[in-house]
């Protein structure tokens, strides 16, 4: 079982705004690892403490959120999103790196 923390960026586009609460619930329920601290020197007023949603059209929203969690947590989030989001919405979890040495495959 891999317990390394991974850093990823969640990209969601054209999400019906009515599904935003479901996505927020998935983020809380699947990502149980402790959140990364803001990088040293980050202005606390400019740091992203919650998901920043933007309009993406009539009753549509988008977000780009840096995440961290174990591989299994990110996979669980991905499964929840895939099962819930309509075909008109797009999402991607872009895995960037591990916070600890990644296992070799």
Residue extents of the structural domains in the chain: 5-34+53-98
Q: Which of 77, 60, 65, 72 is nearest to 36 (CA)?
A: 65
Q: Of 64, 81, 95, 65, whose CA–CA distance to 29 is shortest?
A: 81
- 18 vs 104, more confident: 18
Q: How many CB atoms lie within 10 A of CB 72?
A: 14
User: pLDDT digits over 71-89, tens only?
Assistant: 999 999 999 999 999 999 9
Query: Coil, helix or strand for 84?
Result: helix
In CATH, what class is 5-34+53-98?
alpha beta
pTM score over 0.75:
yes
pLDDT digits (tens, 9 = 90+) for 3-48: 688 889 999 999 999 999 999 999 999 999 888 777 667 777 766 6
């Amino acid at each position: 079982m891999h317990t390394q923390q991974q850093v990823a960026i969640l990209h969601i586009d054209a999400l019906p705004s009515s599904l935003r609460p479901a996505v927020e619930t998935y983020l809380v329920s699947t990502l149980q690892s402790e959140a990364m601290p803001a990088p040293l020197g980050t202005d606390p007023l400019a740091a992203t403490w919650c998901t920043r949603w933007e309009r993406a059209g009539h009753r549509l929203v988008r977000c780009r959120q840096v995440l961290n969690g174990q591989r299994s947590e990110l996979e669980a989030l991905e499964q929840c999103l895939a099962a819930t989001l309509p075909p008109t919405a797009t999402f991607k979890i872009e895995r960037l790196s591990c916070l600890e040495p990644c296992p070799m495959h």
